[in-house]
Structure 1
Amino acid sequence: MSTRYLESLFNPESIVITGASERAENLGGMVLRNLMAGGFPGKLLVVNRNEYQNVHGVPCVRKVAKMPFKPELAIVCTPPDTVPKMVRQLGEAGVKTAIVMTGGLSRAHSKTGQPLMYSVRDAARESGIRVLGPNTIGLMVPARSLNATYAHMGAIPGKVAFVGQSGTVASSIIDWAFARGVGFSHFLTLGDGMDIGHDDLIDYLAQDSQCRAILLHLESIPDPRRFMSAVRVASRTKPVIAVKSGRVPESEWLPVQLPVGVTRTDPIYDAVLRRAGVLRVDGLGQMFDALETLTRMRPVRREELAIMANGVGPGVLAVDRLAGEHGELATLSNETIEALAKHLPPYWTRKNPIDLNYDASPELYAEAIRILAKDPNVSNVLVMYAPSLTEDSLQIADAVVQASKGTRLNIFTCWLGQSTVLDARDEFYRAGIPSFFSPEKAVKAFMQHVHHQRVQRLLRETPESFTDHFADRAQARKIVMKAHRAGRNHLSNSEARAVIGDYGIRTVDTVYCDDIEGVVESFQVERRPVDVTLIHERSCHPFMEEQTGRGRYKATIQGLNSESAIIESCHILMEEYQAHFPRSGFLGFAVQRTYQHLGGIAFSVGITRDPIFGPLVVCGAAGASVNVMTDRQIALPPLNMVLAKELLRRTYMYRLLREYSLQPEEDIRAICETLVTLSQIVIDIPHIKGVEILPLLFDRHGAVAVDVAIDLAKEPGRPIIQPYPRELEEWIVLPKSGRRVILRPVLAEDEPSHMEFHHLQSPESIRYRFFQYRKHFSHEDIAQMVQIDYDREMVFVANAEKEDGSGEETLGTVRVWTDADNIQCEFAVMVRDHMKGEGLGYTLMRKMIDYCRARGTVEMIGNVLSDNQPMLALARRLGFEITYNMEEDVMDLRLPLNEPETDWKRERLRS
């Protein structure tokens, strides 16, 4: 979808309400009253088939065709069976957007047998109108005096946008937010979301300067690829906080088909939101608590927390919750302890949490804050107060507010109680200091702030290079495609081993035998203990243990060291197989030498595919302890080493590995390499549906797969995050120097060479590129340049081998930022100073122009300083239109790429 006509939704100059009357219970009448009470400044009109002259003083006509003007926004409140026709008529009349508040369209059916809400969607697509709903509460934009809802009260203006799905939940949030003094920039619900979805709205809100934070209430994500792309852009610039309802099967609105190896959908949503940089909270109360810290608290420089209170009890409660959230207490310096000791009783504990005593005065609170501000170990302070007879809570609050001004500390407060501390809490709200009702809420909100920054920091970390994106895995692809063309839905055990082996994952040497005699013959070759596994068709599918209860029968017998033991064991395996899987075709036996040097820490790692979210990487315990409910963790491909380690850290097995492995760092790296490789396999060969390595064990050389299963799908799978587009790689030879250069999309691993590239540029080149002189580029600056969303951005780098052979260097780069609707892209290009004259700038620009034209972008734009003659000459050569922008004192560049397909795109370009 897109942001098409959303400006008309949020900022209409005229509105028509269909179906409104003066009956008290009439839905359209309620909306009309709210519009009028809110002071909507634009024109209003009512359409009602009854011959009213006006409704609540607003002019009324009988039909859409009789409207005296063309409204920008329509609010549809007519009966369900009339809604599709009404939407079509409004669209044909030129109305740009409609809010369908009518409910029940998911249950009422049209003549075709499909729910009416799909008829509304079809009518909207055919007539070109955008539709919010059906079954939505409507929307509010308080700063524009727009209350187009049937809610019982309006929202106060603010900087927070709320996008929900449930109207009843939204009504309670308005009430709740008003009591807490939280205002909204935008407030709406999607309802059935037949047209306008979360992704459209997030794209719009990400660009709106009046919106400083986005709150999401999610029940489902129908288009996860679009959602992920939109939220990743938004979360870079403003906090995005989400509540996902339907966390357990009993609360899910509709039954969901689960991928094999996963027992609940909730961990998948966790993985999606975490990868998008979203802070997920458990409920509406936590949403507003998190909002307090994310919008009012400074970024956390250190994660440790100092706690001070006028008593031991509150501090202990706060420490308990901090430990439960895996947070840490700050360690006070000796200087801080001695300074505090001058003001506290001699029997105080001399450590964090700090007990100020029950009679702590405003002056003591202020002095304690000033002392903590001098401690380099202290960055965050929770200040608590419990009501007492000796001091006034408001005076202490005033002292805390004054002491916090100008300090570097992150201060948040908890004034316990209710009736006697409300004024103090209001004082903190006015001062912009987060304040909470209990120690548990305060600590939880603080740790949410910490977790959010960890997620954001994770997305900016520089991954070490591991995956060879340029390797040719033709043999693995040939094996899979041969099986796919033959109509098979799985690979044989030997084929599966060959596929992962081609990608560098080591496997235990295996001999395949058709019968018991063959097993005996293989043992006779080396006369060493062996493990024997019976293979049948069902056993070649991933996660089969969890689907069939395989743990209740023997599939493998280990440590066999005689022919008689082997023969007897093979018969046992055959009996077990015939009893449990009589219809699964027998495929023979696998014989492996009993591996004496494999460690006992066993992992199950692999790939599964969700019908909505596509391929997923899974990691957790193997064997009887697999317990998918608690230890199987999920991540979205593509992975790099940073993301793989984050996935591993979330497993229970990671702690075992750290504690009991003989070489923990080497084993951690080995399993991360395996996870990244599995991610790459499913991207390179999208017909692979699932992969399971069970178990993955460790020896002195790293990770080794004991068994592996791979199944196939009829249709290729597509990750919801656009992977590295390998097909865009291109080799060229520079005409003057003769250097061989690769032109390719940027990778996150390119950060070191990108940093060096900018460091070596002349001050003038930097000024031409960034419109100012810059001496320093931080890790965050460069990370944002190289860690891109290939759906929204593209960066091509020109890299070549360094002359001393020590690795790659970047010689030039070109990037574009494309808007959410793929109408305009803005470019920037820079080439190393000593490479000028090689035509590299022209080559990079030509490649980017061809790329943007092929993906349907309408035009390319850019700004160039008026004295940047080389770039202006290049622009003329490429065919850009160049005009002088007097207001900005720059040259505006414009290059048409494709013809606009719709009138709306033409309007956008003109504006």
Structure 2
Amino acid sequence: MLRHALAPLFEPRSLVVISDQVLPYDQSPPIPLHAATVRVPWSAQGDPDDIRKALQEVAAGRGRPDLALVCVEPTQLPLVLNALASNPDTLPGAVILQPHNSRDPDPAATRDFSRLWAQTHPCLLLGPNAFGVQRPHAGFNFSQHPHLARSGKVALVAQSRSIMAAVMDWADDAHIGLSTAISLGDEVDLGIPQVLDYLTSDYRTDSIALYMEETGNAREFMSALRSAARVKPVVVLKAGRAQDGSGADAAFDAALRRAGAVRIRYFVQMFSALKVLGYAHRPRGQRVAMLANGNGPPQLALDLAGSQAPIVRAELGVATCRALQALLEPDADIRNPVITRAPLTPDIIQEALNQLLADANVDGVLVLLTPDAHTNMTEVAKRLAAVTPAARKPVVTCFMGDAGMRPLRRMLDDAGTPAFRTPETAADALGVLATHHYNQQLLLQMQPPLPPLYPPDREQAQALIDRAREQGRTCLSASEVQDILQAFFAPVEWRDEHEEGDCPAEDDGITLAIRVVRDARFGPVIGFGAGGLLARLGMVGGSAGGSLDLPPLNSYLAHQMMVRSRIWKPLLASESSPQALVRLEQLLVQVSEVISELPDIESLVLDPIRIADDHLRVDGMEMRLCAQPAGYTPLLGGYAHMAIHPYPAHLVRNQAFEDGVAYTIRPIRPEDAEALQGFVRDLSEQSRYMRFISAMKELTERMLARYTQVDYHRELALVATIQQPNPAHRGHPHDVIIGFAHYLRNADGRGAEYALVIGDDWQRRKLGYSLMQGLIEAARQQGLEYIDGMVLSANRPMLTLMTRLGFVNDPDPDDPSMRRVWLDLEPVAPVQEGKA
């Protein structure tokens, strides 16, 4: 089994320590690694031969060393690194460069040397100036923190040593356990995307907390973040808000929403997020009910609720209010928040909580309690600790106070249900959970699976841009902008430049605007909000009231953009016809397609856009081009100008079998989960065994998510489908999967493992050959070096097919019943504009 590329760093089997001082690791080295550790005491007069001998000693008994932990004076670093790389057979798999007590006379030179060394040698390099790594479950403390963190399920990743030290110190006091802690230092080699890749597959990690200051490569960051957030909650604290009016901070917010991650704004929120991420339950909405023993705490919590906030106050059902009225004292408040002023008992708190949890209008419950001399708070806390971990919805508690309440919070934390000190932090924690649910819905969205009935005329639009460049212009005329949007079938009417009469008055109907700008990190960003006079005066929906998103958009994402804007409730939802709103969604989607397919566009402004009855009318247009042409075709160049790779519609193929039956090969989508499960269930036992090498009858939820929620930047799954009537929907046609092929990147990051299965009724019809051809070509385009797979020796049809496709068929040295089939992939040169 291939080890993950980062396994030498996080799961080392051997270690070389090179240091001139005692390190935290030396205080309590883990027993399994202790016997595989060689120490090299170092000084200014250190001998590189000592390092070479240590490496050879490890290699003689255990093969190439996994990890080298280095802490030496900065001036000694080149000597040490060169000694580590003196023999390729003993070069460690990873190196951690910890900061030294002595001052670095030239930090830039140290970074440059380290970067060049990492580029030259096949070795992971963490640092320089890296806080290091902790893996508490294994007892690994390769960090500068003096104490090993508690073992838990939250991974902590930081771009700051000081932030890492502070959070770990707090986590120890709050009894919060970590699966991993890593601070990246100067990031000359190892960065956030690679670490996220590892944590995504790490079974010991259930959630990830990330502190960052720089994004780096936006496409790689977004790809890794989206992949991680599909399977594990990710919370991000980013420092350095843009104050220059560039909108970079808002663009980062939009990127995190689309990645399915949650952004927190303040350092103190990191603690709340870490606590609540360990909670097993996730809400399916943002409606919160509050249960309290006084008026003040829920009022403070309500300050964090509202239409633009992560949580809103739930409207309790009639049955719930009646049950609470019968349960509580006569003058209790039975609306939300539910407030009882009588002494609490464990039975009353449990029954009131059960009623709130059973209400269909409630997505989560916040219990806010203050010290009460007439209530046995310890017994109340014990009951909550016993019942809330098993609740079907999240329950977050706040026990205000310290002397008597802190032990009760600790009791609840240890029982697996988060407890907080203030109403604000408790409400914020529920907000983290609610935002995670909302952003997950955005993460799963993508463009339609099939090309539109009337495909846009990309060539005509590009020709208009080329003509402007030939004339030395980067600003297009209104008529040229109109022609480009018409080429993409934008559902609007246009103001005739020669139309007689004045421009309509500013208050003539609802006035909107769509603006596209190019962010330095994330590429095109689409903004939606008020236009015309409202925007110029900074009123509702102006720069602060609009909403942003990254392309590509679909109708759902476009609608959510509209709902997030401040003009939704007062103007759009109440004063616009359904037909006009549908056209507005379509316009946002078409603008998204324009900027996705035309990478030369730097900015686009449609302002004002007027809604009149059921129609949209654009009275102002402006489009500017980038100073330099993109020079590539997005379809074949991987949409390099975008942070999110669009649905690869160019891989959709409409084909037919020799008997004329039509079928489609296309990339899979999240909504194919039910169809894929049905496909697997309908396979014969033999076909299922040949594919999964087990007697499983259906896919697990995790497997379904892994196969259908695909990041097209790094992997692919293709399905072959036919159209059949769906009895569950009055016979309307739906896609039925008849074949499935996919590849996932291997742990080495260079190749991918493929899998192929064909429905029993569709075998021996050359479907497998067509699916594999599509898979191989896509893998080449993504720059993979090889594709391989494990096939049962008894699966002769599969082995024959792979031989026809040029695969090499090798025996598995560890299992004679298996064969490894593999194919080297020739790289595909980038396609330049005009050569597609």
Q: TM-score range by the shorter chain?
A: 0.7 to 0.9
How many angstroms apart in 2 are the aligned matches of 1:104 and 1:723?
48
Question: Which amino acid in 2 is paired with 1:496?
Answer: V
Among residues 644, 665, 668, which one is paired with 2:558 in the alignment?
644
Matches within 5 A, 1:274-673: 274-301=257-284, 303-323=286-306, 325=309, 327-372=311-356, 375-378=359-362, 380-404=364-388, 406-460=390-444, 468=452, 470-505=455-490, 509=494, 528-529=500-501, 559=502, 594=503, 600-626=509-535, 627=538, 629-663=543-577, 665-673=578-586
Q: Which residue of 2 aligns with 1:99?
A: 96
Q: Which residue of 2 aligns with 1:562?
A: none
Question: Which stretches in structure 2 are left out of the alignment for 5+ residues?
Answer: 59-64, 631-639, 726-730, 828-836
Decide which structure has the larger Cα Rg and report it. 1
Contact 2:807 2:822 survives alignment (8 Å): yes
Aligned residues with identical type, % of pairs: 27
Describe the shift of the 1:368–1:886 C-alpha distance in structure 2 as closer, same or farther (beyond 3 A).
Answer: farther
How many angstroms apart in 2 are the aligned matches of 1:83 and 1:773?
53
Contact 2:52 2:86 survives alignment (8 Å): no
Aligned length: 791
Question: Which amino acid in 2 is paired with 1:11?
Answer: E
Question: Which amino acid in 1 is paired with 2:555?
Answer: M
Q: Which residue of 2 aligns with 1:12?
A: 12
Q: Which residue of 1 aligns with 2:832?
A: none
Deviation at 1:880, TM superposition (A): 5.7
Describe the shift of the 1:754–1:323 C-alpha distance in structure 2 as closer, same or farther (beyond 3 A).
Answer: same
**1:696 maps onto 2:680 in alignment:** no
Among residues 179, 186, 189, which one is paired with 1:192 in the alignment?
186
How big is each residue's C-alpha offset from its partner over 1:105-147, in whole Å with a ceiling of 9 and x where there is no partner? 999659xxx6431221012211333211112212222222222
Contact 2:281 2:392 survives alignment (8 Å): no
Describe the shift of the 1:688–1:293 C-alpha distance in structure 2 as closer, same or farther (beyond 3 A).
Answer: same
How many angstroms apart in 1 are the aligned matches of 2:678 and 2:149?
50
Deviation at 1:6, TM superposition (A): 2.2
* TM-score under structure 1 length normalisation: 0.77
Secondary structure of residue in 1 paired with 2:330: coil
Describe the shift of the 1:756–1:102 C-alpha distance in structure 2 as closer, same or farther (beyond 3 A).
Answer: closer
Among residues 197, 202, 206, which one is paired with 1:203 in the alignment?
197
Deviation at 1:881, TM superposition (A): 6.7
**1:75 maps onto 2:69 in alignment:** yes
Q: Which residue of 1 aligns with 2:124?
A: 130
How many angstroms apart in 2 are the aligned matches of 1:849 and 1:347?
71
How many angstroms apart in 2 are the aligned matches of 1:507 and 1:378?
40
Contact 1:3 1:204 survives alignment (8 Å): no
Contact 1:880 1:895 survives alignment (8 Å): yes
**1:793 maps onto 2:715 in alignment:** yes
Secondary structure of residue in 2 paired with 1:394: helix
Describe the shift of the 1:295–1:710 C-alpha distance in structure 2 as closer, same or farther (beyond 3 A).
Answer: same
Describe the shift of the 1:89–1:484 C-alpha distance in structure 2 as closer, same or farther (beyond 3 A).
Answer: farther
Secondary structure of residue in 2 paired with 1:788: coil
How many angstroms apart in 2 are the aligned matches of 1:686 and 1:666?
31
Deviation at 1:193, TM superposition (A): 0.8
Deviation at 1:848, TM superposition (A): 1.6
Question: Which amino acid in 2 is paired with 1:99?
Answer: I
Deviation at 1:865, TM superposition (A): 7.7
Q: Which residue of 1 aligns with 2:215?
A: 221
Secondary structure of residue in 2 paired with 1:322: coil
Contact 2:555 2:589 survives alignment (8 Å): yes
How many angstroms apart in 1 are the aligned matches of 2:326 and 2:496?
77
**1:826 maps onto 2:753 in alignment:** yes
How big is each residue's C-alpha offset from its partner over 1:47-68, in whole Å with a ceiling of 9 and x where there is no partner? 524568xxxxxxx977544546
Among residues 223, 226, 230, which one is paired with 1:232 in the alignment?
226
Secondary structure of residue in 1 paired with 2:544: coil
How big is each residue's C-alpha offset from its partner over 1:735-774, in whole Å with a ceiling of 9 and x where there is no partner? 222x5555443456x7499579849956669846676676
Describe the shift of the 1:674–1:185 C-alpha distance in structure 2 as closer, same or farther (beyond 3 A).
Answer: same
Q: Which residue of 2 aligns with 1:719?
A: 642
Secondary structure of residue in 2 paired with 1:317: helix
How big is each residue's C-alpha offset from its partner over 1:62-89, in whole Å with a ceiling of 9 and x where there is no partner? 7544546355333333333443453333
Contact 2:746 2:752 survives alignment (8 Å): yes
Secondary structure of residue in 1 paired with 2:130: coil
Contact 2:645 2:713 survives alignment (8 Å): yes
How many angstroms apart in 1 are the aligned matches of 2:547 and 2:335?
38
Among residues 156, 162, 172, which one is paired with 2:166 in the alignment?
172
How big is each residue's C-alpha offset from its partner over 1:682-729, in whole Å with a ceiling of 9 and x where there is no partner? 222222222221222223453332222222221426112222334445
Among residues 842, 845, 850, which one is paired with 2:769 in the alignment?
842
How many angstroms apart in 2 are the aligned matches of 1:805 and 1:619?
36
Deviation at 1:608, TM superposition (A): 1.8
Deviation at 1:731, TM superposition (A): 5.2
Contact 2:576 2:613 survives alignment (8 Å): no
Describe the shift of the 1:300–1:62 C-alpha distance in structure 2 as closer, same or farther (beyond 3 A).
Answer: same
Describe the shift of the 1:458–1:890 C-alpha distance in structure 2 as closer, same or farther (beyond 3 A).
Answer: farther
Secondary structure of residue in 1 paired with 2:567: helix
Question: Which amino acid in 2 is paired with 1:615?
Answer: P
Question: Which amino acid in 2 is paired with 1:392?
Answer: N
How many angstroms apart in 2 are the aligned matches of 1:157 and 1:777?
27
Matches within 5 A, 1:861-876: 861-862=788-789, 871=798, 874-875=801-802
Contact 1:866 1:890 survives alignment (8 Å): yes
Question: Which amino acid in 2 is paired with 1:369?
Answer: L
Describe the shift of the 1:813–1:412 C-alpha distance in structure 2 as closer, same or farther (beyond 3 A).
Answer: same
How many angstroms apart in 1 are the aligned matches of 2:493 and 2:806?
60
Secondary structure of residue in 1 paired with 2:476: coil
Contact 1:853 1:897 survives alignment (8 Å): no
Secondary structure of residue in 2 paired with 1:308: strand
Deviation at 1:323, TM superposition (A): 3.8
How many angstroms apart in 1 are the aligned matches of 2:620 and 2:546?
18
Deviation at 1:308, TM superposition (A): 2.0
How big is each residue's C-alpha offset from its partner over 1:340-377, in whole Å with a ceiling of 9 and x where there is no partner? 44443222233333333242223332343355455555
How many angstroms apart in 1 are the aligned matches of 2:784 and 2:77?
35
Question: Which stretches in structure 1 are left out of the alignment for 5+ residues?
Answer: 22-28, 53-59, 250-257, 513-521, 530-558, 560-593, 901-911
Contact 2:17 2:37 survives alignment (8 Å): no
Q: Which residue of 1 aligns with 2:587?
A: 674
Q: What is the RMSD of the two structures over their aligned residues, measured on CA atoms?
A: 4.0
Q: Which residue of 2 aligns with 1:537?
A: none
Describe the shift of the 1:670–1:88 C-alpha distance in structure 2 as closer, same or farther (beyond 3 A).
Answer: farther
How many angstroms apart in 2 are the aligned matches of 1:302 and 1:72?
45
Deviation at 1:201, TM superposition (A): 0.7
Question: Which amino acid in 2 is paired with 1:505?
Answer: A
Question: Which amino acid in 1 is paired with 2:579?
Answer: E
